[in-house]
Amino acid sequence: MVAISSGFRLAAIFGIGAVLSACSLGGGRSFDTQGLMAPPAQCSIKPSDVGVAERMSAIDEGNGCRVPNPWRVSAIANVSFSEPATLNCGMADPLNDWLRNVVDPAAQRNFGESVMSVDIVASYDCRARNNESGAKMSEHGFGNAIDIAAFNLASGRKVSVKEGWYGSAAERGFLRLVRQQACNDFMTVLGPGSDSYHRDHFHLDLQNRGSGGHYCQ
């Protein structure tokens, strides 16, 4: 009887220990944000003025990930998002400019039709860069980044980053142009050829490097 009860006690102690260490590993994880500047709380344009968007309450996960002025964005510049994106308000202006003045004219020129929607694969996401443990926090942790995997045209044709990058002349021309021009609106632009993590999507972010430098690879 004594042996059983002490066995129970041991099991209980080990059980509690396992739960505690799991919590401290998961919930207490902090990201390295050295050199990263959180996005400003004010926006140059209101996301709902240029698209379909609802204001959310500020996000602060206490581990580096925080979005001072988040919006749930479903469309910008008449281009629908495949899923609502959680973005800091400062993303609305560059997305609006790029979708309206670069993406749509490029689609007209290359395909003779408009882009109706984009496939969003990530927006706000509290994680390290490229999901690598020990890496610095991603701009996704500030709601300051969006990942786009495909552009859907009015006819229903899908131009995906992964296949289209090596696709027809029109697809190659369109994707290269919109990627290159995105560097005027965003501070970081990554895609196929940048590294193995960006083979199948464009990553666009507003990382404030202090120097005002862009990184478009």
- 99 closest CA partner among 113, 124, 83, 116: 116
Which residues does residue 54 pair with via DSSP β-bridges, in sequence order?
72
- Between 51 and 141, name the residue whose CB sits nearer to Zn ion: 141
- Output the smallest distance, CB 19 to Zn ion, in A: 33
- Between 118 and 153, name the residue whose CB sits nearer to Zn ion: 118
Binding mask 192-211 for Zn ion (x = CB under 5 A): -----------x--------
- Between 153 and 206, name the residue whose CB sits nearer to Zn ion: 206
Instruction: Map the footprint of Zn ion across residues 53-82, applying CB under 5 A.
Output: none
- Between 53 and 190, name the residue whose CB sits nearer to Zn ion: 190
Question: 3-class SS at 13?
Answer: helix
The structure tokens listed for 59 are 């996000």
Residue nearest to Zn ion (CB): 203
Sequence-separated (6 or more) residues with CB below 8 Å from residue 4:
none
- 106 closest CA partner among 186, 180, 165, 193: 180
Cα–Cα dist 12/15, whole Å: 5
Q: How many residues does the chain have?
A: 217
Binding mask 153-192 for Zn ion (x = CB under 5 A): ----------------------------------------
Cα–Cα dist 95/195, whole Å: 23
- Output the smallest distance, CB 4 to Zn ion, in A: 54
Q: Which stretch binds Zn ion (CB under 5 A): 51-59, 77-85, 144-152, 164-172?
A: 144-152
The structure tokens listed for 185 are 């609106």
Q: Please report, for residues 21, 43, 50, the alpha-carbon distance to residue 90 in angstroms, rounded to integers and kept in the order given.
A: 38, 5, 12
Q: How many residues bind Zn ion (CB under 5 A)?
A: 3
| 93, 97, 147, 185: which one binds Zn ion (CB under 5 A) | 147
- Output the smallest distance, CB 42 to Zn ion, in A: 24
Which residues make up the interface to Zn ion (CB under 5 A)? 145, 147, 203
